[in-house]
Amino acid sequence: MATLYQGINGPLSGRVGTVVGYMWKQRACLRTYRSHINYPNTASQQQQRDWFVAMVRFAAQAKQALRLGLRQVADEAGMTEGNYFVMKNKACFGRNREAAEVDYGRLQLAEGPAADVYFRQARFCDNEVVEVEFEKNTVFSRANGDDRVYLYAYAPALGSGVLSAPAERRSRRVAMRLPEQWNGLEVHLYGFVVDRSGRPSNSTYVGVGRVNCYEERGRYIPLNKNWNDFVNMANEANVEATAAPTADRPADDLVLPVVDIFGDPPEVP
């Protein structure tokens, strides 16, 4: 049974026949439904449903990120953040039933006028930690140092995502701890900014990587000409020092040169 508020011209709450009245964001809305739905379940309909389900599932997992990144534009369009995400990104989801095809690099999780930042390549560290450094966008001179920078990580294998805690723009670094069950999984990363007024920037696809699968961290020495000459000289000295002792040169006089391969390349005259 439906209830009328403020007379016949007021908002409707409840069902009248196939019409249902409800309130959404202080707005009186109506919707209809069919009592009988044809369900032939053809291959094309299955493909269409899978395509739609893939978008809705991603939007449901990214709910926290979408509330920050799409709330304003969604309100202006008169729809929810999830519906706006589907409308904005439906071309990024493929309709191949054999395998889910998603163009993760084109997905847009935030849209707005705030100044964004330049995200650098993500580093996957121990204990399921990922960190990303970023630089201030020099195009926007009025960007504030206390603007909040967020990361959103999505693991397709599990169909789940995680939003990071905010980092200030002035910190030039944002890091987040991923769930332990994500160890070894492929992860897609997105970043965006929310300024002090609550306005978001456009989101940026930071990249893809595997959790806890990082390169061995060490010091990599650039090999220039002077450094190559020094290495050759050191090798020749090692060969000479390790030669067999002779009567003119007893073993006690042999001194092995110390070569610090992790130091700065010495200047060769």
Q: All domains of the chain, ordered by start, with CATH?
A: 3-32 (no CATH), 43-210 (2.60.40.10), 219-269 (no CATH)
Distance of CA 81 to the CA centre of its chain: 18
7: three-class secondary structure by DSSP: coil
Decide: 166 and 200 in contact? Cβ < 8 Å: no
For 188-213, give the DSSP string: EEEEEEE-TTSPBPPPEEEEEEETT-
Distances (CA, A) of 20 to 31, 111, 137, 170: 5, 32, 48, 50
Q: What is the pLDDT of residues 146-194, one digit of tens each?
A: 899 999 999 999 999 999 999 999 999 999 999 999 998 999 999 999 9
Distances (CA, A) of 216 to 32, 70, 137, 220: 59, 38, 31, 11
More confident residue, 84 or 229: 84
For the chain, what percent of residues have pLDDT higher than 90? 44
Q: Is the pTM of this model over 0.75?
A: no
- Of 132, 114, 133, 124, residue with least CA distance to 155: 124
5 or 249: which carries more pLDDT confidence? 5
- pLDDT reported for residue 30: 73
